Every structure is written in structure tokens, then in C-alpha cells.
């Protein structure tokens, strides 16, 4: 079966506006079957969301995720449970794989938001590439698509939602044998994925900008 997955979402545990519960409810409203909570440098939002999802039945899988700021740029980790996260990219890739996690460069060519850029070609061990990020410029996404094709890697499309209305504006279709984290990981490794590109409506884009400005003002 093919299901919709958005595997780059932020909550109040880092710089997102919505709580884990808010994210789950909106994801269900958007008919997503798989989400990954990827707060910056913490698994905590994903852990809370995973527990919260159980209150609403078993039709939504929450992957334990983290967007790690490494010495080269931002990396998405998808795991079965929280792990330590070295900041050295080479160490992180090895340690993540030792713990059965998937390693995916986040918006790799969006240098304004800490993409790893050309370092993408200097390291091996990627399980996929985020080829479309709904918050990244079109040019950066285009370069990521090209890199995935050149390297023969599966491509993921994600929202990078910081406000819940962003969730699902870009997503990945994933072919699953069953609705489980294990099945999602296997599908990605086998390239049984189809990225679905998209950007949010302008009013939603403005909402995110307003949230970003507000958060920076009140965090000072």
C-alpha cells in the first residue's frame, strides 16, 4: 500500500509553534500515515509525539527523529529510539548506522539554513536525500534532486513545518507492507518512495514568516 509521509516537522520542543499533539491532529487531518518529528538537536518532541499518537489509534506512525546540527550542516536522523548525536558528521553517520538509524541530509543546498552543500559528495553512507523541502528555494531543491539522481539515492519530499499549516504541503509517497516504522525504513532503503513536490499557499507562508519573527523577538 502507498501512504503519505511527511518526515521533517518541528514542534515546541525546538522552534516549532505547534505542540506534539497539535502536529498529530493536523497530520491526521491531512491524511498522513507517517510523520517524523525532527526538532533541532533533540529527540524529545518525537518521543512525546509517539506517546501522544497512541491515544488516537494506530493509523499514524510517528518516527523518532532529530535534525542534528553537525560540523558540516544539518542532518535528519530517523531512529527507532533516541541515540547520542556526535557533531562530527563522519562519526554521526557511523554511530547512527550502528544503532539502525537512517541518515538523510536536510535541505542540502539551502546554505542559508545550514545545508551541507558540496559535503554531500564527500561523505558516503546516506540512506536518502531530502530532495524537496517546502521551505527551501526552488534552486536548492533542484540541485538536491540532481544529486540524488547522480548518487543513485532515494529522494524524500518534506514540509519542514514550523507551523502546523505547513504539514503535508510536500510529502513522500511510501510503499509499505504494513504500517510500521520497520516497514517505512525498509521502503526507503529499497527506494520504494515517490517525492511529491509542493509549496504552501502564500497566506501560510506569511504565517510561518510571522512566527519566525515573533519567536526571535521574544527569545531575546
Lookup: cell for 204: 501560510
Domain hosting residue 135, numbered range: 2-68+131-219
Lookup: cell for 181: 516504522
Q: Give Cα separations from 50 to 13, 19, 23, 37, 57 (angstroms).
A: 14, 12, 11, 9, 11
What percentage of the chain carries pLDDT values higher than 90?
91
Residue 173 lies in a domain: yes
- How would residue 172 be classed by pLDDT, with cut points 50, 70 and 90? very high
Residue 113 lies in a domain: no
Number of structural domains in the chain: 1
List CB contacts of 133: < 8 A, sequence separation 6 or more: 8, 106, 107, 110, 140, 141, 144, 157, 158, 159, 160, 170
**CA contacts within 13 A on the Cβ side of 194:** 7
Whole-angstrom distance, CA of residue 27 vs CA of residue 5? 9
Whole-angstrom distance, CA of residue 220 vs CA of residue 65? 27
Residue 181 lies in a domain: yes
Which pLDDT belongs to residue 215?
82
Average pLDDT, the chain: 96
**What predicted TM-score, i.e. pTM, was given to this entire model?**
0.96
CATH classification of the domain holding 51? 3.20.20.140
Whole-angstrom distance, CA of residue 178 vs CA of residue 183? 6
Which pLDDT belongs to residue 72?
98
List the alpha helices (DSSP H) in 127-179.
138-151
Which pLDDT belongs to residue 220?
52
Of 52-61, 65-74, 117-126, 211-220, the one with minimum mean pLDDT is 211-220
What are the strands, taking DSSP E only, across 59-108? 61-69, 74-79, 102-105
Residue 121 lies in a domain: no
Amino acid at each position: 500500500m502507498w501512504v503519505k509521509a511527511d518526515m521533517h516537522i518541528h514542534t515546541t520542543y525546538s522552534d516549532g509553534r505547534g505542540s506534539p499533539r497539535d502536529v498529530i491532529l493536523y497530520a491526521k487531518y491531512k491524511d498522513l500515515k507517517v510523520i517524523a518529528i525532527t526538532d533541532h538537536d533533540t529527540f524529545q518532541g518525537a518521543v512525546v509525539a509517539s506517546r501522544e499518537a497512541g491515544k488516537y489509534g494506530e493509523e499514524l506512525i510517528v518516527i523518532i527523529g532529530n535534525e542534528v546540527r553537525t560540523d558540516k550542516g544539518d542532518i535528519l536522523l530517523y531512529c527507532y529510539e533516541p541515540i547520542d548525536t556526535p557533531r562530527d558528521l563522519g562519526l554521526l553517520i557511523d554511530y547512527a548506522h550502528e544503532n539502525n538509524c537512517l541518515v538523510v541530509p536536510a535541505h542540502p543546498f539551502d546554505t542559508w539554513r545550514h545545508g551541507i552543500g558540496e559535503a554531500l559528495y564527500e561523505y558516503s553512507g546516506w540512506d536518502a536525500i531530502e530532495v524537496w523541502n517546502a521551505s527551501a528555494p526552488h534552486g536548492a531543491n533542484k540541485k538536491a534532486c540532481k544529486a540524488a539522481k547522480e548518487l543513485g539515492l532515494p529522494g524524500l519530499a518534506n514540509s519542514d513545518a514550523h507551523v502546523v499549516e505547513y504539514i503535508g504541503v510536500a510529502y513522500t509517497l511510501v510503499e509499505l507492507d504494513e504500517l510500521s516504522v520497520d516497514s517505512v525504513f525498509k521502503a526507503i532503503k529499497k527506494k520504494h518512495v515517490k517525492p511529491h513536490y509542493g509549496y504552501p499557499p502564500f497566506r501560510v507562508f506569511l504565517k510561518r514568516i510571522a512566527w519566525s519573527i515573533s519567536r526571535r523577538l521574544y527569545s531575546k
